[in-house]
Structure 1
Amino acid sequence: MDPKRIFDLLLSLCALILLTPLFILISVCVKLDSKGPVFYRQTRVGRKKVCFQLIKFRTMCGGADRQGLLTVGDHDRRITRAGYWLRKYKIDELPQLLNILRGEMSFVGPRPEVSKYVALYNPAQQRVLSVRPGITDWASIEYIDESELLARASDPEHFYRTDIIPKKLQQGLKYIDHKSLWTDLHIMLMTLKCIVLKHH
């Protein structure tokens, strides 16, 4: 087992144990706030093009996927009251610790996409599928305000496909070419710093 996987396994297990009380509290809030399941699952394309179910705390009303895959702004009408706060501080991503524990994801790596966007990758860009996808990476830091950028676009879907995806993939390839445990730790700390500074 490589050092990165050992790191992911141990840290995700410890985090899940420590965060269990928080998970219970969030679950209650999600259920009380709106009808539907506590968790939201969506099929994403992972390492070696193997699909898996990415897990998040549900932040939208039921059937939100049928109204589009992209979240446009923090005040997207599909977002629930509890979901607004979960998204604001990226807390909705915490259940992906389970994806990490199962070996489907890593703490750091290119963010996994749905198949309709992966189908747009050219041969060079498909190299991002050679590693486990992550909860965060350089692109997550650069596009921490992604939903706001999409909200300002005249055609969010076109802007995402033609502008954001290529730049995210470029950052993903940059990570792959220079990945190390030290780089992972740096990206994780930078991500936490950006989330804190964004809201202060």
Structure 2
Amino acid sequence: MDSLLKRIFDIVTAAAGLLLALPLIGLCWTIAAIDTRSNGFFIQKRIGRHGRVIHVCKIKTMYPGDSRRSPIASRNAAVITGSGRFFRKYKLDELPQLFNVLLGSMSIVGPRPDVPGYADRLEGGDRIILQLRPGITGPASIKYKNEEEILASMDDPLAYNDQVIWPDKVRLNKEYIRNYSLLRDFGYILQTLFGRGPHEHP
């Protein structure tokens, strides 16, 4: 993998994306701030490259200071704001992560940055995933774009996530690294934005 070429691609793409998305980010921030009566941005600790903690910026979708939050998103339905449901459905809450990409803690395409307790516990050959900057989108994100709905339909969403979804994401992310190309990254971006691109993981 040509990490320099990937980084240049990230910088150019994130800068262009921010130029286009800044008005939308500003609008979402304003709506979230009004809805939650707090700062419309939410900073969350996630696991980044080499297992280090990074701080990911998102549009706030839940009421602040609620102790009922769970790492499994489907369990947070009761504390998600009205605007938050809309932002999550159309992934608008992810847009501020373009700042993370520009600053170097994330990539446009790559494994999603997980909360502590998952990626930082990878073992053996699975730790190859931690060699990459985490991404805004990627093959695992595309396959599980409706992850919240899937987990909400399960009797035990935590067990299903740990036993089915998480291992499959690890597999997809390892395949992404083994088969990496800049053209594939571009395809994943198109697939994320428009539902078109390489359909390698139906």
Question: TM-score if structure 1 supplies the norm length?
Answer: 0.91
Q: Following the alignment from structure 1 to structure 2, what is the Cα–Cα distance between the partners of residues 162 and 193? A: 30
What's the % identity of the aligned pairs? 38
On the 8 A contact 1:111/1:133 being kept in 2, the answer is: yes
Give the 3-state SS of the residue equivalent to 2:44 in structure 1.
strand
Q: Given the alignment of the two structures, is residue 3 of structure 1 paired with residue 5 of structure 2, yes or no?
A: yes
Counterparts of residues 156-167 of structure 1 (less than 5 Å): 156-167=157-168
Asked whether 1:44 is paired with 2:46, we answer yes
Aligned-partner Cα distance in 2 for 1:159–1:42: 24
Partner residue of 1:56? 58
| Matched position secondary structure for 2:118 | helix
Aligned pair count? 194
CA gap 1:59/1:17 in 2 versus in 1, 3 angstroms: same
Alignment of 1:18-33 (within 5 A): 18-33=20-35
Note the 1:35-184 alignment, pairs <5 A: 35-64=37-66, 66-72=68-74, 76-184=77-185
Structure 2 counterpart of 1:140, which letter?
S
Shift of 1:50: 1.6
C-alpha distance in 2 between matches for 1:65 and 1:119: 24
Change over 3 Å in CA distance of 1:45–1:65 after alignment to 2: farther
1:95-119 deviation per Cα after TM superposition (whole angstroms, max 9, x unaligned): 0001100111111001111121224
Q: In 1, are the aligned partners of 2:105 and 2:133 still within 8 Å (CA)?
A: yes
- Distance (whole Å) between structure 2 residues aligned to residue 21 and residue 67 of structure 1: 29
| Cα pair distance change 1:119/1:181, threshold 3 Å | closer
CA deviation after TM superposition for structure 1 residue 52, in Å = 0.6
What is the CA-CA distance between 1:15 and the residue it aligns to?
1.7
Question: Does the Cα contact within 8 Å between 1:141 and 1:194 map onto a contact in 2?
Answer: no
User: Any idea what the Cα deviations from partners look like across 1:157-196, whole Å, max 9, x if unmatched?
Assistant: 111111111000100000000111101001111112349x
Shift of 1:36: 2.3
Equivalent residues of 2:51, 2:120 under 8 A apart: no
Judge conservation of contact 2:36–2:81 (CA < 8 Å) in 1.
Answer: yes
- TM-score of the superposed pair, with normalisation by structure 2: 0.90
What letter matches 1:168 in structure 2? K
Distance 1:5 1:101 in 2: 9
| Aligned alpha-carbon RMSD (Å) | 1.8
TM-superposed deviation, 1:65: 6.2
Alpha-carbon distance, 1:64 to partner: 4.3
What residue ranges of structure 2 are gaps of 5+ in the alignment? 197-202
**In 1: Cα distance, 2:130 partner to 2:157 partner:** 25
Partner Cα separation in structure 1 for residue 193 and residue 70 of structure 2: 28
